[in-house]
Amino acid sequence: MATLQLTHLNQSLLPSSSASPFAAYTRKTPGRHSSRRLLPTASLLSGPAPTTRREFIFETAAAPLALATLAGAPAPAWSEEPALSEWERVYLPIDPGVVLLDIAFVSDDMNHGFLLGTRQTILETKDGGNTWIPRSISSAEDEDFNYRFNSISFKGKEGWIVGKPAILLYTSDAGESWERIPLSAELPGDMVYIKATGEKSAEMVTDQGAIYVTSNRGYNWKAAVQETVSATLNRTVSSGISGASYYTGTFNTVNRSPDGKYVAVSSRGNFYLTWEPGQAFWQPHNRAVARRIQNMGWRSDGGLWLLVRGGGLYLSKGTGITEDFEEVPVQSRGFGILDVGYRSKDEAWAAGGSGILLRTTNGGKTWTRDKAADNIAANLYSVKFVTDDKGFVLGNDGVLLRYLG
C-alpha cells in the first residue's frame, strides 16, 4: 500500500491532469467574515455592537427573548408552524441559506455534539441537540477560503472533520480544541467523508474514490485502493457498464456500512460503485432502473436502498451487494427523495424535497407520509440516527429537525 507522509501521495492515485485540484480556490471568497466568539445574551442590551454577520444574526434572534424576559412577558413563539408528530424543528443562530451537511456526537457524552454545514458553519450542543451555539475554530480560520465542512466523526473523545477546499481537523479532547492536520495539495479529489475507526485511527474518502486510512493520528495515510475511480473506469470501460465513460469517475454521494463496505453514486447518477475492505479497486455496477440514481445507502439488515430522481424508492432483494432491486410505492408527490435513515431494523425515515418526510415500520415495504412536515419550506437532505432515540434531519436554509419518538 502507498503511504502519504503529510505532503507526499502515491502517484498512482493522482488525477491525470497536472493542474492543482485547488486552483479554483486561490482567489479570496467575496463576503468572507472571520468568526468571533459570540457575546452573552445579557450584552445585547448594554454591550458592544456585533462585529460580524454571524454575531449580528445570532444576537438579532436572541434579542426579542432577552427583552421579553426583562419585561416579564412570555417569550414570543418562533413559528406558527404546526408541531410534527414525531419531530420538532430546532432553530439555529446561523446565516439564512446555510445547508446543513453532517452531525455527530462525542461517543463518551451523547449530549455533546457538533453540526456542520456550508459557509464555514460549525455549531456545538451540550444538551443533546436542544440548543446550538456557533463554534469558531482558529485553525480553520483562513481569509482566503470559506470552507464547506462535509463530514464529522467521533470515536471516544477523538474526532475528525473534513471539508472543501481540502481541510482536515482533529481533536483528542472531545472538541474542546481542534488541530489542523497538513495534507498534500495534490490530494486526488475533494474529501467528502471521514470515519473515526479507533484510537488515533480514521478512514477518509474523496469524491474521486481515493480511500486512505491512518493509525497514527493523521501523521501519514495509507491508500486502501490502488487507483481512482476514473482510472478504474478507463481501464474497464469496455466491460459493459452503461453510462461509464472517460473521466466520469466522481461521486455524487457515498455511504459506508457499519462493517466498512461502501456504496457510491456516480456524479451523473447513471451507475453506482461498491467497495469492500480488501478489494484493490472500486466495482462499477449498472443501474437496475430507468431513471438516474439520486442516492444509495445501507439498510439495517445489510441490504441496500436506492433512490431515483423524481421520487422513486427501491430496495435490494436480499442482503449484501447486488444489482437486483424492486420498487416500493411511496407518496413522494413527485418531489425527489434525497436520503433514508434507519432507526432500527424495522423503522426508517426518508426525507426529500419540499419538506417530504416518510416513515416505514416494516423495514421499508410500505411508507406513510408525515403531512405536518409539508409546512416546512425546505429541502431535507440527510437523515441521521445517532442512537435509537436520538435522530436528526438536516436541510437547507438552516433547517434542523430533532426526533422526539
Cell triple for 277: 475492505
Determine which helix (DSSP H) or strand (DSSP E) holds 204, and give its type and residue range: strand 201-206
pLDDT tens by residue, 115-162: 999 999 999 999 999 999 999 998 888 767 889 999 999 999 999 999
Q: Rounded CA gap, 282 and 209, in Å? A: 8
Model pTM above 0.85: no
pLDDT at 59: 47
User: What's the whole-number average pLDDT of the chain?
Assistant: 81
Binning pLDDT at 50, 70 and 90, where does residue 376 land? confident
Q: Compute the average pLDDT of residues 309-330.
A: 92
Q: Grid coordinates representing 342?
A: 434507519
Q: Which helix (H) or strand (E) holds 326?
A: strand 325-328
Residue 32 has pLDDT above 50, yes or no: no
Q: What's the rounded mean pLDDT across residues 165-184?
A: 95
Angstrom distance (rounded) from CA 205 to CA 140: 20
pLDDT in tens, 249-285: 799 999 999 999 999 999 989 899 999 999 999 999 9
Contact of 394 with 112, CB cutoff 8 Å: no
pLDDT higher at 325 or 20: 325
Q: pLDDT value at position 372?
A: 67
- Report pLDDT for 52: 46
The pLDDT score that the predictor gives to residue 27 is 32
Least confident of 10-24, 315-329, 376-390: 10-24
Question: Which residue has better confidence, 397 or 50?
Answer: 397
Residue 245's pLDDT is 53
**Could you tell me if 401 and 88 are in contact, meaning their C-beta atoms sit under 8 angstroms apart?**
yes
Alpha helices (runs of H) in 260-400, residue ranges in sequence order:
none
Confidence bin at 84 (pLDDT 50/70/90): low
Q: How many beta carbons lie within 10 A of that of residue 7, not counting itself?
A: 10
